[in-house]
Amino acid sequence: MADVIIYKKDQRSFNFIIKDGGDYHDLTDASVYLTGRTSVEATASIFDVLGDVTTASEGACQVTLTAEHTATAYDNVVCDVTVVESGVRTVYKRFYLDILNSVKK
């Protein structure tokens, strides 16, 4: 079961607070990505979207999926929130996303 459900071609912004050991992770000089894959084992990504650091000292960031990223319906997309610092990618959060066909006729 997905943690988040959206519809094909929707745009959706996600706000995250990155913590490390209970403390805010300082995102100064870091990049944050939201990567979606069809399974945990999959090496190819459906999307790999660079986010915006909004308040570096508080670990705050935002990533927006556009209609282009959500153009195809998928069940249980494995989404990893990854921080890249000095070339090292670390996954801080994982959730599951369903991209459903539109209910509109």
pLDDT in tens, 58-102: 999 999 999 999 999 888 999 999 999 999 999 999 999 999 987
Q: What is the pTM of this model?
A: 0.90
Domains defined along the chain, listed by start: 4-100 (2.60.40.3350)
Q: Sorting pLDDT into bands at 50, 70 and 90, what band is 30?
A: very high
Cβ–Cβ < 8 Å for 34, 85: no
Q: Which of 78, 83, 8, 5 is nearest to 44 (CA)?
A: 78
Tokens of 71: 């153009």
